[in-house]
Chains A and B, each alone.
Chain A
Amino acid sequence: DTVLAAATITMKLTSTVCFPRQEIMKWNGWGYSDSKFLFNKKGQAEFTGKRYRLSGMVLPSLQDWFENTFGASVNHKSPATPALNASAVPPASLNEAFVEDLKATGIPFSHEAEDRVFRAHGHCLHEIFALREGKKFERVPDMVVWPNCHSDVVKIVELACKHNVCLIPYGGGTSVTSALECPPEETRCIVSLDTSQMNRILWIDEKNLVAHVEAGIIGQDLERLLNESGYCTGHEPDSMEFSSLGGWVATRASGMKKNVYGNIEDLVIHIKVVTPRGVIEKSCQGPRMSTGPDIHHFILGSEGTLGVVTEVTMKIRPIPEYQKYGSVVFPNFEAGVACLREVAKQRCAPASIRLMDNEQFQFGHALKPQVSSIFTNFVEGLKKFYITKFKGFDPHQLVVATLLFEGDRERVLQHEKQVYDIAATFGGLAAGEDNGQRGYILTFVIAYLRDLGMDYYVVAESFETSVPWDRVLDLCRNVKERINRECKERGVQFQPLTSCRVTQTYDAGACVYFYFAFNYRGLADPVHTYERVEHAAREEILANGGSLSHHHGVGKLRKEWMKESISSLGVGMLQSVKDYVDPDNIFGNRNLL
């Protein structure tokens, strides 16, 4: 039973004209409208709704943690604008000829303000902040179109080319790279191509263990539907409740359990893409080919600049018999990293292994629900006593690694022992399943927590990188220090929260994920301040041997560093592919290049 067990919903939408996602999802925040954190009248934090394990629970320590960490107060609210102000949305500038031809195809579309605004953004801080403030939009799509299948997409792209209309593919809308933002300089009609109706599993091939799936399918639906047949993909990016298969391909997504199942590029066997030049696909499903550079790699990470991914054949696996969470506490971050490195070296990483720093460990603890039984409380107290007093771990230094094992029971237990033995050589102490599971809960509710923060003058964001093993510690330390310094220099009045975790391990390095948040009271333009600090943090990452991105992508947020990252010749190569595939820049979201 996964963390998400309680979170399943049917994303199947009735095929009315409007497909209003916004009816069940927030228009100006993360996730479902019914699920949110709030401080109740007693000042205690609660998570509303019924979808998650934390739903309906009271989190007694969150308020203290929140107020102490940020210098914030539950009495200082910064509420969001309650509803979308239609006058803040620029009128749709439609290409009438395109609209006429589109009507003839019978493919549904809309130019309602709410539909257009909903698809005008991803989940970057500045995007959500602007929505909450009710700021005027500079540029949003002029219409939204909902193709139902591959051939609908072919028709739309043909019409877009014919009428010189700009297309921006829209999957789950979870981008955090400004990739969905409409270029303000775009004068053509912008059409958001929403793939949400292309959400079927077309077939499952049990002999080869692959499934052929429409690319608009959302992660949790894909898993749920496959589970019904006894399979899974095992691809679980943190955004899987909302992000789509096509989006994963377009951004080179990575899933939590990549150690067992691989990242998206390892999972994909065949891709069908509709481009202005026609449809790209391979002629067979051979598991590996030597036919020149892999054309899939032009598509993987193309961020919607070349065309629309419509169908994907991807690997599936039988659902694992047994799953077990676990956790290990280390006296400090250095010891934890050394352990993860050793685990990677011995190639025995469990499905997921993550190392949270002390800040994140404490953050996780602040999310502990009220414990009903005195006995549980007592046991927790004992554990804490054992670790801090008996073993002498400093509560302000200790870190925790969270683990998820999968497989048949016997092998999981064996594997678990192997990992715990390695951990012990680095001073790690097994700290139970609960602690492990809590770490993963944090992952799924963190974006909801950001909305809570924004209700109380706290802005927050996450960013990630990948880095060789020997530089992990230096990078983490320097990036945190840089953030602290930049905040101070830019007039942030309160100590920011900077926290990181080593979230994936590889043979030659690791993926590091940062959370960064601060109380913005007293700042004139908190978003600008935030952006400057994030910019500095990225420069620090690059100077310390980190990559521009491990899985979030480039979008428009990190374009400026592309040359530095892949050389100007490399950018030229990508550009020439773009020029060939899409000479009129129909896919004009201007990401990446």
Chain B
Amino acid sequence: MASKTLYSQRDPMLKRDGFEDILEERRNSSDLKYALRCYAPVLYKGVTPCKANMLKNIVLQSDQLRYVINQVSQESGEAPDIIQEEASVILEEMAHRLQISTVRFFAFALSKAFKTLFQHVCVNEEGIQRLQQAIQEHPVVLLPSHRSYMDFLLMSYILYTYDLALPVIAAGMDFMGMKFVGEMLRMSGAFFIRRSFGGDKLYWAVFSEYVKTMLRNGFAPIEFFLEGTRSRTCKSLTPKLGLLNIVIEPFFKGEVFDVNLVPISISYERILEESLYARELLGVPKPKESTSGLLKARRILSEDYGSIHVYFGQPVSVRSLAQGKVNRSTYNLFPRHIPRKPMEETQSFVNDTAYRIVRLQEDNMVLKPWVLMASLLLQNLEGMELSVLTEQTVWLRGLALSYAAFLDWPDHAPTAKVVSSSLALHRGLACVSGGRVSLVVGEPLGPVTPEEALFNRAVSVLSCASYRNQVLHVFLRPAMLAVAMHTAASSKKNEVYNCFSFLWDMFSNDFILCPGDTVQDFEEACYLLVKTGAVQMPQQDIVMTDIGQPTLSFFNGLLEPFLQGYQVVCRYLCEEASEGLTEKQYIPAVRSFAVKLILAGNLRCYEVLSSDMQKNALAALLRMDAVRKVKVADQVTLIVNKMAVNSIDDILGKNRMISHINQTQISPSLSLVAVAEDLCRDGLTPSYIR
């Protein structure tokens, strides 16, 4: 069966290594000794490490940079010396100043902090061994998932612990705001890049040459976050391609034989920034990074944040990935030092690679029992009997395991114990009273307005959702199939596929769905649901089995908030949005629309208040051409194609009406497929129906 083979391609990745707790040794021996011990990592083909200053000189004298300097000089009329000086300043601002003494300081300080904050820091040592091998053979790029500020300190800490070459890390310039800390980070290997430098040729040239020089010479592993920023929702973010392009290009140009990309999954049992993120998503602006802010964060030192699992994935060879996909000889006819926009073939390869790496990160994310409990609680916002929660958690555990979730379920512990200790660790989110488990709502200070109460509740829902989100990648494909089966007009496979494909396209900003993988994902979903006995596929049909009900209804419930959220956005755009709605106004406007609905008792979905969901929904509508952006003066205005938005709303809302909002433009008798076909004819979504 085709779907089997497709799925089994991913199977080898799912053979996972065991973990070792690196804190155990720290608890039993001197941190000072540890920080001062001999550190002599092996390097790429035995290169001698390069002093930060020498590196800067190599970059400033490179043909690549000199070319751009001359170009900018000619365009601006400034003397090349002045531009050169500018480049030098940029480099100064950017460059790392990795110093072993600083690393030793962090090794000491972090040992202390980690032991206070976390029960365990677990690392798969086989992954470390693979990495060590890879570092010697090829330039290595470390690609960790990004959930917390901790991530990159943690990474360096682990590499130091295992005597591996310390990485240089691309960090956002916002850290620079914290004078002292910024410099400390710089000295522990961070280099700083501005968040946006769109048209700045010189900046781009300095930056890309800096990274490439380090990569080509193999001075140190390069580390950056494919997701670009910390995911506030704990879902993986759509990967950013800029840096990946930069690190892959030397391979295409033949400057290095290969580049190894190492996906690294960092899973936190409790994220330090948990409620901070929820507030941020609800529109409370993110506190500017400042040293004093960080000091205030000391408060968190008194809490228990459970365990961290860091999984170093199999290094991915860019050369093997590109085999047959990119013709390197197309780089033969152009001088390699002249910057050029990547060719289409290359762009799509890099894009595809980025998605695959993020999926590899997802695959090796360690899930805790609480993640399953949170998924259940969110489908029962009114609360659940503890016994029911326990029972369903056990059931869900089985389901998750059969879908190859990387579940860290304590061995030999009775289920009740597992559930109660999870609840204890997350007592800030859920509590048990009178045998019922429900979400904790933040203590109000003084009298509260209904909006404030709503806001408090939303914080706890979004915090809880950030745990549920961790399991989504395991269930996503079968869950979309479950929803598609639910909404399709018949059980015919092609109709179900059409619905699946619509959802796939719609949600491709919210979830990691590799471009072009619709069919493969559909087949994977079918395979999984059939394998677990929830679905059978006689001839050309897809139907639920006798025992499939719990699974399918759980899956429907799992995606419900997303379907509802997108629907609210559609409703808003059709009903409330004014003519000249600007992009800036969009998020607060949708938020207050949703608040109104919730307060009126017409909507029970709090997740739509998340700016993340609002942005993703808008991106989907833009992609589907239901909304257009028009730039008028300095403002970007959103032009809504109400017909199209309405149709999308209708497909989403099939059988899932937000009760009393009456919409009559589209006849309810119209089958989903008919609507989808209409959309197709209108050229809205030409790709997903065939």
Contact = CB atoms under 8 A, between A and B. Distances in A.
Nearest to B250: A474
Task: Select the residue from B254, B255, B328, B336 with max chain A CB neighbours within 10 A.
Answer: B254
Contact of A545 (B257, B327, B329): B329
B255 A542 contact: no
B329 A543 contact: yes
Contacts of B329: 542-543, 545, 564
Nearest to A547: B332
A470 interface: yes
Given A542-B329, A544-B328, A545-B329, A477 B336 contact: no
Contacts of A543: 254, 327-329
Contacts of B257: 477-478, 481-482
A478 B254 contact: yes
B331 A545 contact: yes
A475 interface: yes
**Interface range, B side:** 10 to 19
A471 interface: yes
B332 A545 contact: yes
Contacts of B336: 470-471
Contacts of A474: 253-255
A471 B332 CA distance: 9
Contacts of A481: 257
Interface in A439-491: 470-471, 474-475, 477-478, 481-482
A474 B253 CA distance: 9
Contacts, number: 25
Nearest to B258: A481
A482 B335 CA distance: 23
A545 B253 CA distance: 9
A337 to B, nearest CB: 15
A477 B45 CA distance: 13
Contacts of B253: 474
A583 to B, nearest CB: 34
Interface in A539-581: 542-545, 564
Nearest to B333: A545
Interface in B311-366: 327-329, 331-332, 335-336
The main secondary structure of chain B at its interface with chain A is: loop
B316 to A, nearest CB: 16
A39 B652 CA distance: 82
A243 B167 CA distance: 56
A542 B336 CA distance: 16
B384 to A, nearest CB: 55
A89 to B, nearest CB: 41
A447 B254 CA distance: 31
A504 to B, nearest CB: 20
Nearest to A471: B254
A144 B329 CA distance: 43
A490 B612 CA distance: 50
Looking at A475, A477, A478, A564, the one whose CB has the most chain B CB atoms below 10 A away is A478
Nearest to A474: B254
A135 B253 CA distance: 43
A470 to B, nearest CB: 7
Interface string A157-199: 0000000000000000000000000000000000000000000
A44 B329 CA distance: 46
Contacts of B255: 474
Interface string B18-46: 00000000000000000000000000000
A478 B256 CA distance: 7
A470 B67 CA distance: 15
Contacts of A475: 254
A475 B336 CA distance: 14
Interface centre among A477, A482, A545 (most CB of B within 10 A): A545
A68 B335 CA distance: 41
B630 to A, nearest CB: 44
A122 B613 CA distance: 70
Interface string B471-504: 0000000000000000000000000000000000
A191 B254 CA distance: 45
Interface string B252-268: 01110100000000000
Contacts of B328: 543-544
Nearest to A470: B336
Contacts of A542: 329
B320 to A, nearest CB: 10
A426 B594 CA distance: 72
Nearest to B331: A545
A470 B337 CA distance: 10
Nearest to B322: A543
A481 B332 CA distance: 20
A478 B329 CA distance: 14
A389 B253 CA distance: 37
A447 B419 CA distance: 76
A475 B331 CA distance: 13
Contacts of A564: 329
A481 to B, nearest CB: 4
Contacts of A477: 257
Interface hub of B331, B332, B336 (most chain A Cβ within 10 A): B332
A397 to B, nearest CB: 11
Nearest to A544: B254
A471 B331 CA distance: 11
Interface string B557-585: 00000000000000000000000000000
A542 B254 CA distance: 11
Nearest to A484: B257
Contacts of B335: 470
Nearest to A467: B332
Contacts of B331: 545
Residue of A474, A475, A482, A564 with most partner-chain B CB within 10 A: A474
A209 to B, nearest CB: 39
A129 to B, nearest CB: 29
A90 to B, nearest CB: 39
B641 to A, nearest CB: 45
Contacts of A545: 254, 329, 331-332
Nearest to B332: A545
A545 B327 CA distance: 11
A452 B618 CA distance: 73
A314 B647 CA distance: 81
Nearest to A545: B332
B247 to A, nearest CB: 17
Nearest to A478: B257
A543 B252 CA distance: 8
Contacts of B327: 543
A228 B253 CA distance: 52
A105 to B, nearest CB: 50
Nearest to A475: B254
A474 B255 CA distance: 6
Nearest to B337: A470
A207 to B, nearest CB: 45
A74 B336 CA distance: 48
A543 B257 CA distance: 11
Interface in B249-298: 253-255, 257
Contacts of B254: 471, 474-475, 478, 543-545
A474 B327 CA distance: 17
A476 to B, nearest CB: 11
A470 B255 CA distance: 10
Interface of A: 470-471, 474-475, 477-478, 481-482, 542-545, 564
A-B pairs with lowest CB-CB distance, top 4: A543-B328, A544-B254, A545-B332, A481-B257
21 contacts: A470-B335, A470-B336, A471-B254, A471-B336, A474-B253, A474-B255, A475-B254, A477-B257, A478-B254, A478-B257, A481-B257, A482-B257, A542-B329, A543-B254, A543-B327, A543-B329, A544-B254, A544-B328, A545-B254, A545-B331, A545-B332
Given A471-B254, A474-B254, 6 more contacts: A474-B253, A474-B255, A478-B254, A543-B254, A545-B254, A545-B332
